[in-house]
Structures are given as structure tokens and as C-alpha cells.
Structure 1
């Protein structure tokens, strides 16, 4: 799920473009940005550093904070892993 604003969320669970396969990391090599056009919003993915050939693309999902009961564990393996995606 990707929150565009307080009213709009994109859910690419069942269908979407290739970006739906980009995983989360607490030390990402990409960033996701919402861009507004005349006909609506789009999400663009750009690199935030040089990406090596064969390196997996990833970005920080930055899920909304949840109470402990609804926390989603993070298994990204980054040195600075927050242990939770929300």
C-alpha cells in the first residue's frame, strides 16, 4: 500500500506495474515520490545513490505508526534496521 495523501491509497497487492515488486529496506537505494499531474497523482521511483549491477532495488515503505499489536516486522537485514516497518 502506498499512501498518496490523507484520502488516497494505492494498493498494488493484486495488480500494478513492475514497481509493486520493489521491497522495503531501512537502508534503501531508492526513494518513492508522489508527483501531481493535471489528471491525477503518480508515484515515481528514483535512485538515491549509485546502484550496482544485480543489486536489488528497495525503498523505505514508511508505513504509518501502529500500536504494538499491529506492528509489521522488518527483515531487511540492514545494519540500521528498525526491526519494524511501521
Structure 2
């Protein structure tokens, strides 16, 4: 299991942000805690659960073992994790 970050592309004020996703929500929140990103920034209601993080936090995440991925890799990860979450959902 892993945490993934894409390249910073999304402007937010004067910052460039990137997405941080993971194979599991537990891993995602654990990494957010480790790099100092508040839970209030978690985007649970987006098309996929993620955090938007700045370049400085991205660098810390990479130093702690996050995997840098491109757009296509990120899309494949999101499809896979969406499928895994659907299988685990008690609503099935």
C-alpha cells in the first residue's frame, strides 16, 4: 500500500498545489498527519477522497516515502481505489 502525489499544477493564490491520494484512507490521513496537513483540508466529497497540498508539503511527503506519479498513473490509481472502496462499502 502507498501514498501518491502528482506534480504541482493547480494554482491556489500564489501557491501551486498537487493532489495527495493513497490506497487506503488510513494511509492518506496518516501521511497528512505526518506532514502537518490539517484534517479540515481533507476533501471527502470530491470525486475521489484526497488532500490538496502545497509544494513544500509535497516535498516532505516524498521524503517520507510518498510516490510521485503522473496524470495517467494517478487516474489508474483512482480507478483502482474507487473499485476497492466500492467492494468494502457496507451498502453493497
TM interval, shorter chain, is under 0.3
Higher relative contact order (CA 8 A, sep 6+): 2
Specify the structure having the higher radius of gyration (Cα).
Answer: 1
TM-score (norm 2): 0.24
Q: Structure 1 length normalisation: TM-score?
A: 0.25
Relative to total residues, which structure has the larger helix share, 1 or 2? 2
